[in-house]
Amino acid sequence: MKDSGMIENARSVDRAATIVLVAGMSFILIPLAIAAVTATQPYETFIEAGGLSFALGGHFLDNMEKILSETKLLRQLGNSLAVATIVAVMKVGFCFLAAYALVFFEGKFRRALFAVMIATVMLPLDLRVITTYQIVANVAMPLNWILDATGANWAIEKVAGFRPYFRLSLLDTYFGTAAPIAANCTAVFIFRQFFLTLPKDLPRAAIMDGAGPIRFMIDIVLPLSKTPIVATLLFFFVGAWTNYLWPLVAASTPDQQTAVVGLARIADSDIDEIPQVPLLMAGALFVSFIPVALIAVMQRQIVRGLNLSSR
Amino acid sequence: MLALILMFFYIPVFLAFFWSFFLERPFGGGSEFVGLQNFRRVLSDQEFWRAMWRTLLFMVLAPGTAIGVSLVLALAADRGIRLSHPARNIIIWPKAIAGASIGLVFVFIFNPHLGLFAPLNDLFPGLWNPRIDGTDAYLMLLVAQVWNGIPFNFIILLSGLQSIPDSLAKAAAMDGAGPWRRIIDIQIPLLTPQLFLTFVLEFVGSVVEAFGLIDTMTEGGPGGATTLLVYKIYVDGFKAYDLSGAATQTALLMTAVAIMVALQFRLEKRVKYER
């Protein structure tokens, strides 16, 4: 669009741009196309062809049926749905409130709070997976430390004759899988950026009308923030869905694993024979379908709502 | 929620540093203060250094390639030609596909006997085999990581390009700067904040995001050629139950990442452009 109003010959650039885009889209689409074509082939044809071939096999539904009946991927898809939803709602809800407090309130601890949150963006969950696992395996661990450190345990031992040790594991639960992923404040920056673009007179006008901070948030800021809220919800939903390392360790039983982890476990099972590639490709499509459809349909809203340009 | 951040962020970070000074027994068998012994053990381990170098190399190659490719794509999509529309949509699809899922697809595509290069291997036996050749495996990992990393950089860079005022391009055109010239002299310099953002995020991301790919594609092999630090920590901690070793490596890796991010922010102060 940019050059349409200009009198200049941009044909060479546009031709180069077309070639670049075709190459880029091919790079993205070819692996997906290979997966899709292979997912239509029955195992026998796949073996006969000696591997990768571009012939459609017409067995897509059979392969899907196998996915549904022979694997737990459908149940695991439900797990992914639950975990990703919890993560998205927790993250967006908290970050919205935190950014609201940061932007609209003067406070002593504002800078400290901001620093506390910035750190969570720098060190991703996968980096601290070992110790996070230990905490989730026993969320009462800090309580035990406190009891030990304050001498309370010593007192209890004297009186009751035993040393209390609390244990509560959140492994293999939706919350235990979701909460550590949600303990991240990326969205605070997105909301903060958005709030800063709102007119400065807005809060003043609200105060004049007698609206308190909660009224102001619910009646004014919340409706105005629809675009970034929808975008971040979708973005974090997809992000949690595609997470791998943490869900892999946080849930050990197939019934509690997420779909991506379940898919990788199917691939693990038969290492010696020629792998069930068509089935695996069908599985890869099966676990990727929901997030890809979301991104493809909501692409505009996501890009606009994240407002990444105004940094 | 602040409690959750404390619980699942600050305590684990603290615990990693804390445990690096203790010999921690698996299954809660008590612990013993050992001072710097863990660090001495880890730092004198050849495997640790090899994994560290592989990680550092990966941190340079993967973001560099992904951002370079994304930049070219974003510049092309910004031209507003007919293909821009579908491209803007399709190029971000990989964002929605887990590394572990696409890893399975890539490991099939690059399979020396079943995949895309199988015919080539028939002609020149042993030309391509990521199962035996470490360099091939590393390359395969890199391609998959770039595939997965393009969307995010592409979105950021494209929205950056689109926020550059039209009037600048028009003024430059009046001065006789052609579209190629404007890419070098106007668009890329004005894109510095976005380029910086993508570098910081990709840098941190490439340390950990490759895990899903490694676990499904190579499992660290062949012969450890694709064992990046994040994978080594996972194996040490969850397979070998060496909690202290894993915690020590976690502490070292977190320190390295924090230092690098801090350095990048210092760098940003120097290259700041005002719009």
Block residue for tokens 């603290």: B14
Q: Which helix (H) or strand (E) holds B23?
A: strand B22-24
Give me A21's structure tokens: 């885009």
CA distance A184 to chain B (A): 7
Model pLDDT, residue A299: 82
> Which one, of B25, B9, B114, B152, lies nearest residue A38 by Cα?
B114
Are residues A49 and A31 in contact, defined by beta-carbon separation less than 8 angstroms? no
Of residues B2 and A246, more confidence is placed in: A246
Cβ contact (<8 Å) for A20 and B109? no
Sign of CA dihedral B129, B134, B140, B141: positive
Dist CA B239 CA B233 (whole Å): 10
pLDDT over 80 (residue B34): no
B22 beta partners: B33
> Which one, of A288, A53, A286, lies nearest residue B108 by Cα?
A53
Residues of A in contact with B108 (CB under 8 A): 34, 38, 52, 275, 277, 280-281
Q: pLDDT, tens digit, for every residue of A30-44?
A: 888 888 888 888 877
Dist CA A244 CA A234 (whole Å): 18
Domain locations along chain B: 46-270
DSSP string, B216-252: HHTTT-STTTT--HHHHHHIIIIIS--HHHHHHHHHH
Dist CA A168 CA A80 (whole Å): 23
CA distance A22 to chain B (A): 8
Q: How many CA atoms lie within 13 A of B163 on its CB side?
A: 19
Of residues B269 and B188, more confidence is placed in: B188
Instruction: Please give, one letter per residue, the 3-state secondary structure of B126-179.
Output: CCCCCCCCHHHHHHHHHHHHHHHHHHHHHHHHHHHHHCCCHHHHHHHHHCCCCH
Give me A32's structure tokens: 């997906």
Q: Domains in chain A, start-ordered, CATH in brackets?
A: 1-62 (no CATH), 71-310 (1.10.3720.10)
Model pLDDT, residue A308: 54
Give me A26's structure tokens: 């091919």
CA distances B172 to A3, A114, A155, A251, Å, are: 12, 40, 79, 57
Contacts of B198 (CB under 8 A, 6+ apart): B63, B67, B70, B152, B153, B156, B157
Cβ contact (<8 Å) for A28 and B179? no
Contacts of A142 (CB under 8 A, 6+ apart): A135, B7, B11
Q: What is the mean pLDDT of chain B?
A: 82
Dist CA B37 CA B45 (whole Å): 12
Model pLDDT, residue A2: 46
Q: Which fold has domain B46-270?
A: MetI-like fold (1.10.3720)
CA distances B103 to A35, A46, B33, Å, are: 11, 20, 41
Task: Work out the pLDDT band at B272, boundaries 50, 70, 90.
Answer: low
Which of helix, strand or coil describes residue B31?
Answer: strand
Residues of A in contact with B212 (CB under 8 A): 244-245, 260, 264
Cβ contact (<8 Å) for B204 and A124? yes
Contacts of A240 (CB under 8 A, 6+ apart): A83, A84, A87, A88, A178, A181
By Cβ distance, the residue of A16, A32, A135 closest to B11 is A135
Q: Among A183-187, A196-200, B122-126, B199-203, whose mean pLDDT is lowest?
A: B122-126
Whether the bond into B222 is cis, omega within 30 of 0: yes
> Which one, of A120, A236, A251, lies nearest residue A177 by Cα?
A251
Sign of CA dihedral B188, B191, B194, B200: positive
> Which one, of A304, A284, A282, A270, lies nearest residue A242 by Cα?
A284
Q: pLDDT, tens digit, for every residue of B71-118?
A: 999 988 888 788 888 888 888 888 888 888 888 888 888 887 787 887
Name the phi and psi angles at A50, rounded to 5.
70, 30
Residues of A in contact with B150 (CB under 8 A): 24, 28
Dist CA A34 CA B2 (whole Å): 45
Block residue for tokens 């994304």: B70
> Which one, of A281, A40, A56, A52, lies nearest residue B113 by Cα?
A52
> Which one, of A37, A289, A63, lies nearest residue B108 by Cα?
A37
Dist CA B89 CA B35 (whole Å): 54
Cβ contact (<8 Å) for B115 and A14? no
Task: Work out the pLDDT band at B69, boundaries 50, 70, 90.
Answer: very high
Cβ contact (<8 Å) for B105 and A31? yes
Distance of CA A247 to the CA centre of its chain: 11
CA distance B182 to chain A (A): 11
Give the Cα-Cα-Cα angle A290, B216, B133 (nearest 5 degrees): 140
Block residue for tokens 């670049």: A20
pLDDT over 70 (residue B123): yes
Residue A112 is given by DSSP the state H
Between A and B, how many residue pairs show a Cβ–Cβ distance under 8 A? 286
Give me B15's structure tokens: 């615990």
Contacts of A143 (CB under 8 A, 6+ apart): A166
Cβ-based neighbour number of residue A282 at 10 Å:
26
Model pLDDT, residue A185: 84
Block residue for tokens 């395996």: A137
Q: pLDDT, tens digit, for every residue of B208-263?
A: 888 888 888 888 778 778 888 888 888 888 887 778 888 888 888 888 888 888 88
B33 beta partners: B22
pLDDT tens track, chain A, 311 positions = 444 444 456 777 888 888 888 898 889 898 888 888 888 888 777 777 777 777 777 777 877 888 788 788 888 899 999 999 999 999 999 889 888 888 887 777 777 888 788 788 878 888 888 888 888 887 777 787 777 777 777 777 777 777 777 778 888 888 888 888 888 888 888 888 788 888 888 888 888 888 778 888 888 888 888 888 988 899 899 989 999 999 998 888 888 888 888 888 887 765 556 678 888 888 888 889 899 999 888 888 887 777 654 43
Model pLDDT, residue A271: 54
Residues of B in contact with A261 (CB under 8 A): 100
Residue B22 is given by DSSP the state E
Cβ-based neighbour number of residue B256 at 10 Å:
16
Which ipTM score applies to this complex?
0.86
Ramachandran category for residue B126: left, alpha or beta (phi over 0 → left; psi -120 to 50 → alpha):
left
Are residues A186 and A239 in contact, defined by beta-carbon separation less than 8 angstroms? no
pLDDT over 90 (residue B68): yes
Give the Cα-Cα-Cα angle B247, B200, B102 (nearest 5 degrees): 75
Residue type at position A38 = T
CA distance A160 to chain B (A): 23
